């Protein structure tokens, strides 16, 4: 999992992704929508902490999250690990191909 100050940049694979057509749970789609919509700097980077803030501020916005399962905002920081897990139901296939290594 990245640290709060880690800088993240999305890959072309991410920008070619149709999030709504993925056959995954709504919570990982929320993570992907947040990654797409979080404010980025002029070079296309965002901080992991800013991503978490975006998710906290938008978990009840139907444009970003259409599910019913967010019971604790504290769990949002775990979504990144769930997305990378091979054993969790919130896994995002090929998730590591959607962002460059952290800086």
What pLDDT does 39 receive?
Answer: 98
Is 90 exceeded by the pLDDT of residue 77? no
Q: What are 15-38's pLDDT values in tens digits?
A: 999 999 999 999 999 999 999 999
Task: Copy the structure tokens of residue 27.
Answer: 């919570």
- Residue 85: burial class (beta carbons within 10 Å; 0-12, 13-18, 19+): middle
- What's the pTM? 0.93
Domain boundaries defined on the chain = 7-98
pLDDT tens digits, one per residue of 35-69: 999 999 999 999 999 999 999 999 989 999 988 76
Q: What pLDDT shows up at residue 69?
A: 66
């Amino acid at each position: 999992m990245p640290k709060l100050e880690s800088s993240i940049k999305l890959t072309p694979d991410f920008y070619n992704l149709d999030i709504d057509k993925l056959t995954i749970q709504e919570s990982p789609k929320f993570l992907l929508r947040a990654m797409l919509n979080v404010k980025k700097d002029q070079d296309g980077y965002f901080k992991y902490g800013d991503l978490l803030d975006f998710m906290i501020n938008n978990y009840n916005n139907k444009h970003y999250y259409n599910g019913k399962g967010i019971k604790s905002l504290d769990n949002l920081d775990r979504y990144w690990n769930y997305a990378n897990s091979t054993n969790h139901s919130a896994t995002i296939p090929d998730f590591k191909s959607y962002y460059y290594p952290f800086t």
